Structure 1
Amino acid sequence: MTIHMNHPNGVLSGKTVLVTGGTGSMGATFVRRALSGEAGMPRRIIVLSRDEAKQYHMRVSLLRRWAATDDILYRNFESILQFRLGDVRNYADVSSAAKQADIIIHAAALKQVPSCEYFPDQAVLTNCMGAANIVRAIEEHGLPVETVVGISTDKACEPVNAMGMTKALQERILIAANVLSPSTRFVCTRYGNVLSSRGSVVPLFQEQIRNGGPVTVTVPEMTRFLLTLDEAIDTVFAALRDALPGDIFVPDAMAASVINLAKAMIGDRDIAIECIGRRPGEKLHEIMVSDEEAPRALRRGDYYAIRPMLPELARADDTADEPALRDRLSSFDRVVDLEQTIAMLRKNGTLPADARPRQRSLTIPS
């Protein structure tokens, strides 16, 4: 890791940043990117999570990296990076961690669709009450937090499962907070499957391939929006830099079919693909922007900004600018072919440069 010079207009320059769920795939990548100084060097980053094992491994990994490459970060480890054990479900934990923060990245979540279907009450506690605790702490204690970015998902758009429903409520909780606490800017980001993140399909396919298969897909025609971890963090940086209060920032992402994803990852290995059917709560295709949201979706560089429906957050340019979308943004309409899927996986480092798939049979159980 290399420290860049502080950017005078960097959104993180000199800031104390709290990252809830900071030991997850997205949170840990955000921390690494933030500490590179690319968005300005933060004064401190506070990692809040309830998993002490992940905190230990993250601490050791960063210390080893800094010891080899960044003497300044290594010598100032304790003052720059702080780990706090705590749970976003616990109001006291959130209040204690947030009292020093200028920026909060709210990445803590339950995000496995089947788990949330079987334990929807747990999804409510983490995905909804976690966001509500942040809003309550800022409002009740008058905390001088400048910006809160909530990390959402395409499953929150026209949700059909408990995970998506709770994430949709999380978006509403944070957007409405702009009215309750107008001195803090509350915004969200919404994106699809993040390649190589824990719990995504890529690590599952990789494990199945290592074990000789079969690789299990749900249904061949299922499509999903795909982003790399760095593209997900780029979306967060863009929202920090450009989002207006109540905006939901959405990347202009492409999608792939799960069957092409499996074929691309298997390559020329002699491994079967087996279709196992949809899991509880799964959609066939995901939607990033709904028909109802499309008229409020404005173009902001490489992103769409969905403006809030609350009249208190309306601005004159909401109607002055032409909507960027005529109708919904669906993974079905953005799906790429097999060669483009391979290119996306190469970009992510999931596939070697010379990986080539071959024709194979698909087993569909009766």
Structure 2
Amino acid sequence: MAKIKKGYFDDKVIFISGGTGSWGNELVTQLLKFNDPKEIRIYSRGELKQVEMKRRFYGEDKLTFFIGDVRDKERLMTVMRGTDYAFHLAALKHVPVCEENSWEAVQTNIVGTQNIISTAIEAGVKKVIDISTDKAVDPYNLYGTTKAVGEKLIISANLLKTKTRFVCIRGGNVLGTNGSVVPLFREQILRGGTLTITDEKMTRYMMNLNEAISLIFEATVSSVGGEIFVMKMPALKVGDLADLMIKELSLTRKNLHVKKEIIGIRPGEKLHEVLVSRYESTNALEQGDYYVILPNIHLPEVQKKYKGMKSVDFKEFNSNNTHLLTYDEIKTMLEKESWLDKDINANFSNIQDKDLQNPFEQEGWKRD
């Protein structure tokens, strides 16, 4: 995948909603590494994460931080005014939380996205890049449904007669990010006891943070507005990941005894995830390391740029029909990010014993 052109964001003002998470931190790191932006505005609700991010980027005067919610249109306008590029990362993302707090999910993921659109147009932003998810495809849960609606809002915003262009990217699971399975498995294993698995046959896409940010930059530079960019990414079986991590992390810890417990798929989860649906494949094009899904609405600029290009030759792109990572490939991927380090303090997120119990119990789900 092509890297961002050095200097592309020089002297530009950049707005990032939900910018204190894993994606936001890496996005800022790469923006500062390859560019000399005028200002990067981090907009998020949590003061603690903002303080932690300030410490990480101590002395970096390009960064400014604003407490705010994407539900608050007036606050958004105050912060977004004068912005050149906006990256919309803010969302409620935890599947069971969204199921149990449905209206909150709607307000943040749908109303909040519409607020981003309206404010960006009013503020004269050049381009808005929305970060979506594989769960928006053929959604089975409320989180996926809200993100699917968010995608539709972003794409249809290109119909408006404005100078602001809107584009989406769809990502899969990013290795080691907050709330993902790898750090949870690692901590369960190193503490000893039980490793909880939903279903050993479950498959999930897997990408690293650098690849995720590269996709964002690719969409920023290459899009004309109205496209959805999807990375060609491999997947793995959750059971294979668990077995490998148990084996590799147990090699130098003689008294480490870990047993697996199959807890079943959580409400709203799928056995396999989809990145390009069977309905979208007729409008999907292959572009090097990624796919571009064209909109089903009339956008002359899109039709002009992609005229004559051939559609993909698959009916659906899902985590069970892409390349499944082998044992050695999974091991290499984890080693690069130090997730197989035997030191229990490495990459440790201070999860307490109570946090490692059966996830159903944590989230209050009851089984019949």
Q: TM-score, normalised by structure 2?
A: 0.86
- The match for 2:331 among 342, 351, 354 is 342
User: Counterpart of 1:307?
Assistant: 294
For the 8 Å contact 2:120–2:128, the answer to whether it is kept is no
Deviation at 1:347, TM superposition (A): 3.2
Q: Residues 319-346 of structure 1, C-alpha deviation per residue, up to 9 Å, x if partnerless?
A: 5111134211010012223222222222
Change (3 A) 1:177 1:36: same
Q: Which amino acid aligns with 1:149?
A: I
Find the counterpart in structure 1 of residue 238 from structure 2.
258
Match of 1:364 in 2: none
Q: Which residue of 2 aligns with 1:95?
A: 77
Q: For 2:333 and 2:284, locate their aligned partners in 1 and report how far apart those are by CA, in whole Å.
A: 26
Report the Cα distance in structure 2 between the residues aligned to 1:182 and 1:341, rounded to whole angstroms.
45
Q: CA RMSD in A?
A: 2.0
Contact 2:183 2:339 in 1 (8 A): no
Matched, 1:14 2:2: no
Structure 1 position 125 matched with structure 2 position 107? yes
Report whether the alignment pairs 1:186 with 2:166: yes
Match of 1:51 among 40, 46, 49: 46
- Flag as ranges the 4+ runs of structure 1 deviating above 6 A: none
Any conservation in 2 of the 1:152–1:188 contact (CA below 8 Å)? yes
CA distance in 2 between partners of 1:225 and 1:60 (Å): 32
Deviations 1:160-206 (A, max 9, x none): 11110000111111111111254111001101111111111112112
Output one character per residue of 1:248-292: Cα deviation in whole Å (capped at 9) or x when no partner.
111110000111111222224231121100101000000000011
Which amino acid counterpart does residue 265 of structure 1 have in structure 2? Answer: M
- SS of equivalent residue, structure 2 residue 193: coil
The alpha carbon displacement at 1:352 in A equals: 4.9
Deviations along 1:42-76, whole A, 9 cap, x unmatched?
Answer: 1110000010011011101211xxxxxxxxxx3xx
The secondary structure found in structure 2 opposite 1:244 is coil
Q: CA deviation at 1:22?
A: 0.6
1:265-284 matches, within 5 Å, as 265-268=245-248, 269=250, 270-284=257-271
Structure 1 residue 233 displacement after superposition: 0.7
Contact 2:166 2:226 in 1 (8 A): yes
1:91-144 per-position Cα deviation (integer Å, ceiling 9, x unaligned): 1121111112100000001111111111121111111111100111134x3x22
Q: What is the deviation of 1:215? A: 1.0
Q: Point out where structure 2 has 5 or more consecutive residues left out of the alignment.
A: 251-256, 343-368
Alpha-carbon distance in 1 for matches of 2:277, 2:126? 29
- State the alpha-carbon separation in 2 of the partners of residues 205 and 352 from structure 1: 13
| Counterpart among 313, 316, 320 of residue 332 in structure 1 | 320
Amino acid at match of 1:32: T
- In structure 2, do the counterparts of structure 1 residues 275 and 181 end up closer, same or farther at CA, with 3 Å as the change threshold? farther
Aligned residue pairs: how many?
332
Q: For residue 71 of structure 1, what is the aligned residue in structure 2?
A: none
2:153 to 170, 173, 177: 173
Q: Secondary structure at the match of 2:320?
A: helix
SS in 2 for 1:320: coil
Please give the secondary structure, in 2, of the residue aligned with 1:333: coil
